[in-house]
């Protein structure tokens, strides 16, 4: 029966655009799109599929709708009491109306994704999408379907072929989530209102720049830039600063012969975040990317050690995902001050086979994530297998995670 | 007597002008008139790259939207329509500056020129419309190929225009029509990068223009790529379409 159910889903997937599986052997999945509370030794498979519609009424008016339906299948692979649980989740990720009021003046209303920044794995100026972005390299639906848009109104003005101004207002949108469950299919609650402005067009020789400002209870400023040198080199950088960020820290309090951990908030004033990177292209069009990221809110020294000790203790005591709450409060690649990223991509063009190898390293404790992917492309499909591995000591940012590896299989079919 | 003198001097001036007109630079300007349909136009092009005579590696169909400003700088907006897996890919080219937006993503990415290659075709091959802006030319000979009388020109890149260009080009041009027939592209060190053939001449907007360009790899001549214009249309395109931030909004206007 389970198999029938499974293949019934599969047949539906074949007529839609994208099929993705992810297989984990962990008890905690640290991923931007989900946190499945599995116990040690378990695995999970989940599938994603989605579609994107873009109705163009005229050259000026278009109606965009993107819906995503995600299914999680939980499989207890190593348990004697085998259980099988399906979890369906569907939500509109983008749903907005766009119109050109006058020549070069656009208004978007609805729910949409707004992206900024030049960084490959993480962009300090991507204010609306500050989460993990290692899957960005796939540049396929899986990347975007993880990003839920926000309810907002955006005005965009193109003054000429250089200058562009964007003004965005996203209101606070909250409701009784228990009483009005149906609204969860359309949007997640938005706790805070946001006002965003960006200017692009300022050029220094051939350097593109973009200035950004966000007000979300406090001010955030950012600038990003990029340029190319010769035929093979692209250089880019992001810089941002905000009034303050609240970190969760752990203090060790002595009580007689024993010591207790005390979790509390600590404000970091004017934290700077910066990223600098380059893309080098070889003559066979293989590319090599390196990026260095400085994270001004990152912790170090005893604060860093205490967070690790606390997390280890909590996991040992309670064996639950709650143990990682302090780590999770930072998000991925936000705990330490220094990170380094590399990616190599190569394609055998005659066979349409591609491969990529990525590595993210926390330079403070030398733990990290290694990711490799192999894929085959045709004119209408793309099939790939990826493996993500976490490494580092048991008291390091990535070594402490109980996730050992994560395998991803994705198939994209373009039908229409 | 005075009248005869005036007539004679007029004849000498006219002859002098006629003689001076047939220079390399004059021919280049004539070629440019053939290559560009107008200051603002669009085209549909098929790009097929082969690893040898019988093995097709890739085939793309693109729509290009071109605008040439008063300084003869060319901006080209490219929209990929085929194959389906990359349909919706958008690229903005302005000299050596190239920006790309992949389908179903939001980040506009800047590319180095090497990343843009489609077979033997570079961004310059698609986006460069005008030879005379970037090169000085001199006639270095005349040849007859397939019964056609041809000028043999040597094009050398102008100072300050080294960006999206080849250092030297040897260009064969039909004497009667100024239609380019063949070319060889070289690096500054004199290394052959590619050999190009122009054919399938067709009348478009009152001028005979080559619709097919075949590019052979300079090192491995077995590898070649064919660029073939399927449609060309004069089209008024607003300036702001060539703003990189406009890429996510760009919906290609119809070419029919």
Identify which of A105-119, A353-367, B155-169 has the greatest average pLDDT. A353-367
Which of A26-40, A300-314, A349-363 shows the lowest per-residue confidence on average (mean pLDDT)? A26-40
pLDDT of residue A285: 87
Q: With bands split at pLDDT 50, 70 and 90, how would you rate the model's confidence at A355?
A: very high
Candidates A166, A206, A234; nearest CB to B111: A234
pLDDT of residue A28: 38
The rounded mean pLDDT for chain B is 85
Sorted by where each begins, the domain ranges of chain B are: 6-249
pLDDT of residue A57: 63
- Name the H helices within A263-394: 301-318, 325-330
Q: With bands split at pLDDT 50, 70 and 90, how would you rate the model's confidence at B137?
A: very high
Asked if residue B228 has pLDDT above 50, the reply is yes
Compute CA distances A223 → A30, A164, A212, A271, whole Å: 29, 14, 6, 15
Residue A181 structural domain: 2-413
Cβ contacts of residue A199 below 8 Å, gap of 6+?
A: A163, A164, A165, A210, A211
Distance CA A13, CA A48 (A): 9
Q: With bands split at pLDDT 50, 70 and 90, how would you rate the model's confidence at B171?
A: very high
Distance CA A104, CA A331 (A): 38
pLDDT of residue A330: 84
CB contacts of A230 in chain B (<8 Å) are 112
In A282-404, beta strands by DSSP E: 287-295, 338-348, 353-362, 368-377, 381-391
User: How many beta carbons lie within 10 A of that of residue A359, not counting itself?
Assistant: 16
Secondary structure letter of residue A324 according to DSSP = G
Task: Count residue pairs from A and B with Cβ separation < 8 A.
Answer: 110
Which has more pLDDT, A60 or A189? Answer: A189
Calculate how close chain B gets to A189, using CA atoms only, in Å.
23
pLDDT of residue A75: 40
Q: With bands split at pLDDT 50, 70 and 90, how would you rate the model's confidence at A321?
A: low
Distance CA B244, CA A168 (A): 19
Asked if A412 reaches chain B (Cβ–Cβ under 8 Å), the answer is yes
pLDDT of residue A318: 73
pLDDT of residue A242: 95
User: How many beta carbons lie within 10 A of that of residue A40, not counting itself?
Assistant: 12
Q: What is the mean pLDDT of residues A244-253?
A: 90
Asked if A233 reaches chain B (Cβ–Cβ under 8 Å), the answer is yes
pLDDT of residue A38: 38
Calculate how close chain A gets to B85, using CA atoms only, in Å.
5
Quick check: A29 and A403 in contact, CB under 8 A?
yes
Asked if B106 reaches chain A (Cβ–Cβ under 8 Å), the answer is yes
Identify which of A170-179, A246-255, A358-367 has the greatest average pLDDT. A358-367
pLDDT of residue B8: 47
Total structural domains in chain A? 1
CB contacts of A105 in chain B (<8 Å) are none
Residue A201 in 3-state DSSP? Answer: strand
Q: What is the mean pLDDT of residues A124-136?
A: 63
pLDDT of residue A13: 35
Candidates B84, B104, B243; nearest CB to A141: B104
pLDDT of residue A415: 65
Asked if residue A79 has pLDDT above 80, the reply is no
Q: What is the mean pLDDT of residues A86-106?
A: 77
Answer yes or no: do B112 and A230 touch at CB < 8 A. Answer: yes
Q: What is the mean pLDDT of residues A311-336?
A: 79
User: How many beta carbons lie within 10 A of that of residue B41, not counting itself?
Assistant: 21
Asked if residue A91 has pLDDT above 80, the reply is no
By percentage, how much of chain A surpasses pLDDT 70?
72
Secondary structure letter of residue B5 according to DSSP = H
Asked if residue B29 has pLDDT above 50, the reply is yes
pLDDT of residue A193: 94
pLDDT of residue B95: 79
Answer yes or no: do B112 and A232 touch at CB < 8 A. Answer: yes
Candidates A114, A161, A377; nearest CB to B240: A161
> Encoding tokens for residue B10?
């007029």
pLDDT of residue A51: 58
The rounded mean pLDDT for chain A is 77
Distance CA A406, CA B98 (A): 35
**What fold is seen in the domain B6-249?**
outer membrane lipoprotein receptor (LolB), chain A (2.50.20)
Beta bridge partners of A51: A67
Q: What is the mean pLDDT of residues A298-322?
A: 84
Which has more pLDDT, A57 or A273? Answer: A273
Distance CA B231, CA A226 (A): 35
**SS3 assignment for chain B:** CHHHHHHHHHHHHHHHHHHHHCCHHHHHHHHHHHHCCCCEEEEEEEEEEEEECCEEEEEEEEEEEEEECCCCCEEEEEEEEECHHHCCCEEEEECCEEEEECCCCCCCEEECHHHHCECCECHHHHHCCCCCCCEEEEEEEEEEECCEEEEEEEEEECCCCCCCCCCEEEEEEECCCCCEEEEEEECCCCCEEEEEEEEEEEEECCEEEEEEEEEEECCCCCCEEEEEEEEEEECCCCHHHHCHHHHHHCCCCCCC
Compute CA distances A234 → A75, A115, A151, A181, whole Å: 44, 20, 34, 47
Candidates B85, B112, B244; nearest CB to A281: B112
Q: With bands split at pLDDT 50, 70 and 90, how would you rate the model's confidence at A255?
A: confident
pLDDT of residue A33: 37
In this predicted model, what pLDDT tens digit does every residue of B85-114 receive, in sequence order? 888 899 999 877 899 998 777 789 998 888
Radius of gyration in angstroms for the set of CA atoms belonging to chain B, rounded to a whole number: 20
Answer yes or no: do B243 and A140 touch at CB < 8 A. Answer: no
Answer yes or no: do B105 and A144 touch at CB < 8 A. Answer: yes
In this predicted model, what pLDDT tens digit does every residue of A144-188 receive, in sequence order? 445 678 999 999 999 988 899 999 999 999 988 888 888 877 788
Asked if B55 reaches chain A (Cβ–Cβ under 8 Å), the answer is yes
Which has more pLDDT, A90 or A44? Answer: A90
Q: With bands split at pLDDT 50, 70 and 90, how would you rate the model's confidence at A275?
A: very high
pLDDT of residue A90: 66
> Encoding tokens for residue B46?
């098929």
pLDDT of residue A122: 83
Q: What is the CATH number of the domain that holds A97?
A: 2.40.160
Answer yes or no: do B75 and A161 touch at CB < 8 A. Answer: yes
> Encoding tokens for residue B251?
């919906």
Which has more pLDDT, A168 or A326? Answer: A168
Distance CA B237, CA B65 (A): 8
Calculate how close chain B gets to A280, using CA atoms only, in Å.
8
Answer yes or no: do A378 and B115 touch at CB < 8 A. Answer: no
Q: What is the mean pLDDT of residues A227-234?
A: 90
pLDDT of residue B246: 93
Quick check: B120 and B166 in contact, CB under 8 A?
no
Quick check: B102 and A139 in contact, CB under 8 A?
yes
Secondary structure letter of residue A118 according to DSSP = -
Which has more pLDDT, A397 or A129? Answer: A397
Asked if B60 reaches chain A (Cβ–Cβ under 8 Å), the answer is no
Candidates A52, A163, A232; nearest CB to B114: A232
User: How many beta carbons lie within 10 A of that of residue A106, not counting itself?
Assistant: 19
Calculate how close chain B gets to A205, using CA atoms only, in Å.
11
């Amino acid at each position: 029966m389970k198999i029938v159910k499974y293949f019934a889903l599969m047949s539906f997937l074949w007529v839609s655009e994208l099929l993705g599986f992810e297989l984990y052997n962990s008890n905690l999945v640290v991923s931007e799109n989900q946190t499945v509370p599995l116990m040690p030794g378990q695995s999970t498979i989940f599938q994603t599929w989605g579609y994107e519609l873009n109705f163009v009424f005229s050259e000026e008016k278009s109606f965009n709708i993107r819906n995503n339906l995600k299914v999680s299948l939980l499989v207890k692979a190593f348990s004697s009491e085998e259980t099988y649980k399906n979890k369906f989740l569907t939500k509109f990720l983008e749903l907005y109306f766009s119109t050109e009021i006058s020549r070069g003046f656009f208004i978007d209303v609805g729910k949409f994704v707004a992206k900024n920044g030049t960084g490959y794995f993480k962009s300090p100026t991507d204010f609306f999408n500050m989460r993990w972005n290692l899957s960005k390299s796939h540049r396929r639906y899986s990347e975007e379907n993880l990003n839920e848009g926000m309810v907002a109104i955006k005005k965009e003005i193109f003054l000429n072929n250089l200058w562009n101004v964007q003004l965005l207002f996203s209101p606070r949108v909250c409701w009784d989530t228990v009483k009005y469950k149906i609204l969860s299919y359309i949007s997640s609650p938005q706790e805070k209102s946001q006002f965003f402005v960006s200017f692009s067009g300022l050029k220094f020789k051939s350097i593109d720049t973009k200035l950004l400002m966000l007000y979300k209870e406090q001010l955030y400023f950012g600038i990003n830039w990029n340029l190319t040198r010769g035929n093979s080199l692209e250089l880019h950088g992001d810089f941002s600063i905000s009034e303050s960020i609240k970190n969760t820290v752990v203090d060790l309090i002595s009580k007689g012969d024993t010591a207790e951990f005390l979790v509390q908030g600590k404000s970091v004033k004017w934290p700077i975040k910066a990223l600098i990177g380059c893309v080098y292209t070889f003559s066979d069009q293989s590319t090599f990317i390196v990026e260095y990221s400085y994270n001004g809110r990152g912790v170090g020294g005893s604060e860093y050690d205490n967070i690790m000790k606390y997390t280890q203790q909590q996991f040992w005591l309670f064996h639950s995902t709650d143990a990682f709450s302090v780590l999770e409060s930072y998000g991925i690649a936000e705990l330490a001050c220094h990170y380094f990223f590399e990616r190599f991509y190569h394609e055998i063009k005659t066979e349409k086979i591609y491969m990529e190898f990525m590595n993210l390293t926390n330079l403070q404790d030398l733990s990290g994530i290694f990711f490799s992917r192999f894929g085959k492309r045709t004119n209408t499909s793309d099939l790939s297998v990826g493996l993500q591995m976490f490494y580092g000591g048991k008291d390091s940012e990535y070594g402490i995670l109980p996730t050992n590896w994560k395998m991803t299989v994705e198939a994209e079919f373009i039908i229409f | 007597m005075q009248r005869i003198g005036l007539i004679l001097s007029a004849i000498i001036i006219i002859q002098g002008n006629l003689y001076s007109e047939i220079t390399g630079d004059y021919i280049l300007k004539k070629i440019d008139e053939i290559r560009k349909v107008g200051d603002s136009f669009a085209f549909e092009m098929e790009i097929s790259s082969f690893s040898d005579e019988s093995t097709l590696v890739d085939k793309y169909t693109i729509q290009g939207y071109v605008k040439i400003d008063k300084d003869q700088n060319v901006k080209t907006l490219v929209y990929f329509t085929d194959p389906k897996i990359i349909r919706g890919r958008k690229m903005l080219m302005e000299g050596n500056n190239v920006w790309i937006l992949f389908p179903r993503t939001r980040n506009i990415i800047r590319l180095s020129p090497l990343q843009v290659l489609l077979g033997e075709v570079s961004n310059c091959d698609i986006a460069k419309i005008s030879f005379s802006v970037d090169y000085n030319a001199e006639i270095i000979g005349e040849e007859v190929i397939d019964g056609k009388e041809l000028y043999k020109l040597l094009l050398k890149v102008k100072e300050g225009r080294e960006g999206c260009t080849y250092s030297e080009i040897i260009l064969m041009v039909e004497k009667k029509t100024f239609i380019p027939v063949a070319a060889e592209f070289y690096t500054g060190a004199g290394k052959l990068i590619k050999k190009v053939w122009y054919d399938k001449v067709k009348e478009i907007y009152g001028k005979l223009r080559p619709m097919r360009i075949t590019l052979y790899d300079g090192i491995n001549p077995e590898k070649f790529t064919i660029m073939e214009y399927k449609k060309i249309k004069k089209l008024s395109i607003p300036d702001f379409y060539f703003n990189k931030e406009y890429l996510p909004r760009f919906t290609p206007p119809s070419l029919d």
